[in-house]
């Protein structure tokens, strides 16, 4: 029997200290207190906001969501009330919560990313890090398609870096191209860490009407269906680049979360699971604590990145 210990879940990324690795994926936890009836926000390790843009965005036409096997598609289109509203109404709300806030930002141009970084800089007592959304599959300008041109991503990263002292996570997805190559480039351009992965672009068709089930035609696939893909990218990025990683993609349960920790993830962003189970974050947290006790873990670093790979395996890509 391993000794029964209470696992210290404290997670450190540079000088940022999180009481545990549990956070929420951008766009799945609202912009203010939407989940407060179900979740004590002060129990979370960090909170990641829905994407903020300089100007308010109306979002995409309806229908914007549909259920698919193993998850859902969404094409919300970054609907939000814009930077000014965030500064006036949301920052004061989060200032009252003792949980580090990571603000997710997106722009249509390098200048917009720059403006967001500059405007958030004075709020660093509340805003502890930025997550740069480079991979939204549902918008044209500034979305994943747009950012497929490498110089655009790098321009954005450099611009943000030069206008903020905050820690920067770059949110990437395979929609952009080779995640490892891009990851290496964005780290060189000033990202301190990566956020992996965003939703994957997909489709669903109503066969009776022969119409797309999402008005935008395509939407971002999230949920358990994308977990293996996310896990692979987190594992590869940690192994190749060694930078801090926020993992997201189909984390529905504590076992899912623990897989990501073993793959090396620093923070665990629970996303679509919040829609299905409003208490998902705290349920997962309880499950991690229980696992830590059962395995006699003193801290999570005894678990992080401890995947056992047989010699000669796990280096090359590809299956077959």
Partner 1 sequence: MVDLPVRILENKRINGKYYKLVFRSKRLAARVEPGQFLNLQIVPGTDPFLRRPFSYYRLEDERIEILYEVLGRGTALLAARAKGDGLRISGPFGRAFKKNLGKKKRILVAGGVGVPPLVFLSERYGCDYLLIGTKSREEVLPKRELAGVRGKILYATNDGSYGLKGYVTKLLENLIKNFPAKEIFIQTCGPGVMMQAVIDIARREGLEGEASVDKPMACAVGACLGCMVKTPSGWVPSCTEGPVFKFQDICERL
What amino acid positions are annotated as catalytic residues? 136
Shorter beta-carbon distance to partner 1: residue 20 or 49: 49
**Smallest distance from partner 1 to CB 30, Å:** 4
Shorter beta-carbon distance to partner 1: residue 182 or 254: 254
Question: Is residue 223 near partner 1 by the rule CB under 8 A?
Answer: yes
Q: Any idea what the Cα angle at residue 252 is, between residues 301 and 236, rounded to 5°?
A: 50
Question: Is residue 72 near partner 1 by the rule CB under 8 A?
Answer: yes
Range list of H helices, the chain: 82-85, 91-95, 110-120, 150-163, 179-188, 227-241, 254-263, 273-276, 280-294
Shorter beta-carbon distance to partner 1: residue 50 or 171: 50
User: 282: which 2 tokens?
Assistant: 């705290």
Name the segment binding partner 1 (CB under 8 A); options: 3-11, 64-72, 109-117, 157-165: 64-72
Shorter beta-carbon distance to partner 1: residue 37 or 311: 37
Rounded Cα distance between 269 and 276, Å, is 15
Site string for partner 1, 272-301 (x = CB under 8 A): x-xxxxxx----------------------
Among 160, 164, 215, 148, residue whose Cα is nearest residue 189? 160
Considering only 10, 68, 87, 204, the residue that binds partner 1 (CB under 8 A) is 68
Considering only 10, 59, 110, 287, the residue that binds partner 1 (CB under 8 A) is 59
Considering only 45, 100, 220, 224, the residue that binds partner 1 (CB under 8 A) is 224
Shorter beta-carbon distance to partner 1: residue 88 or 298: 88
CB contact at 8 A, 22 and 45: yes
Query: How many residues contact partner 1, by CB under 8 A?
Result: 35
Considering only 25, 49, 52, 71, the residue that binds partner 1 (CB under 8 A) is 71
**Smallest distance from partner 1 to CB 126, Å:** 20
Considering only 18, 23, 29, 186, the residue that binds partner 1 (CB under 8 A) is 29
CB contact at 8 A, 107 and 116: yes
Question: Is residue 34 near partner 1 by the rule CB under 8 A?
Answer: yes
Shorter beta-carbon distance to partner 1: residue 11 or 216: 216
Tracing tokens 């780290």 back to the chain, one arrives at 187
Question: Is residue 249 near partner 1 by the rule CB under 8 A?
Answer: no
* DSSP codes of every residue in 150-211: HHHHHHHHHHHHHH--SEEEEEE-GGGS-HHHHHHHHHHTT-SEEEE---EEE--EETTTTE
Among 8, 80, 79, residue whose Cα is nearest residue 45? 8
Question: Is residue 212 near partner 1 by the rule CB under 8 A?
Answer: no
Rounded Cα distance between 191 and 170, Å, is 6
Name the segment binding partner 1 (CB under 8 A); options: 58-66, 138-146, 290-298, 301-309: 58-66
Rounded Cα distance between 153 and 135, Å, is 10
User: 114: which 2 tokens?
Assistant: 């720059």
Residues that bind partner 1 (CB under 8 A): 27-30, 34-35, 37-38, 50, 58-59, 62-72, 74, 76, 79, 223-224, 252, 272, 274-279
């Amino acid at each position: 029997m391993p000794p029964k210990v209470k696992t210290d879940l404290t997670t450190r990324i540079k000088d940022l200290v999180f009481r545990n690795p549990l956070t929420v994926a951008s766009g799945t936890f609202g912009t203010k207190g939407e989940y407060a009836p179900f979740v004590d926000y002060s129990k979370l390790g960090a909170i990641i906001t829905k994407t903020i843009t300089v100007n308010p965005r109306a979002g995409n036409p309806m229908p914007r969501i549909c259920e698919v096997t193993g998850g859902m598609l969404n094409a919300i289109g970054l609907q939000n009330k814009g930077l000014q509203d965030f500064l006036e109404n949301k920052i004061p709300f989060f200032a009252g919560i003792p949980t580090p806030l990571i603000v997710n930002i997106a722009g249509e141009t390098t200048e917009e990313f720059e403006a967001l970084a500059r405007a958030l800089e004075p709020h660093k007592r509340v805003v502890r890090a930025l997550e740069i959304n480079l991979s939204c599959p549902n918008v044209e300008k500034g979305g994943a398609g747009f950012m497929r041109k490498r110089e655009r991503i790098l321009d954005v990263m450099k611009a943000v870096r030069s206008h903020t002292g905050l820690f920067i996570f770059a949110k990437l997805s395979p929609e952009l191209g080779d995640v490892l190559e891009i990851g290496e480039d964005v780290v060189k351009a000033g990202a301190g860490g990566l956020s992996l992965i965003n939703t994957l672009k997909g489709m669903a068709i109503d066969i009776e009407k022969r119409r797309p089930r999402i008005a935008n035609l395509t939407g971002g696939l999230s949920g358990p269906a994308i977990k293996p893909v996310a896990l692979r990218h987190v594992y590869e990025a940690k192994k190749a680049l060694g930078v801090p990683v926020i993992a997201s993609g189909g984390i529905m349960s504590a076992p899912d979360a623990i897989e990501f920790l073993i793959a090396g993830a620093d923070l665990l962003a629970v996303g679509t699971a919040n829609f299905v189970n409003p208490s998902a974050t705290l349920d997962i947290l309880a499950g991690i604590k229980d696992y830590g006790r059962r395995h006699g873990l003193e801290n999570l670093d005894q678990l992080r990145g401890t995947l056992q790979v047989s010699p000669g395996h796990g280096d090359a890509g590809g299956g077959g």
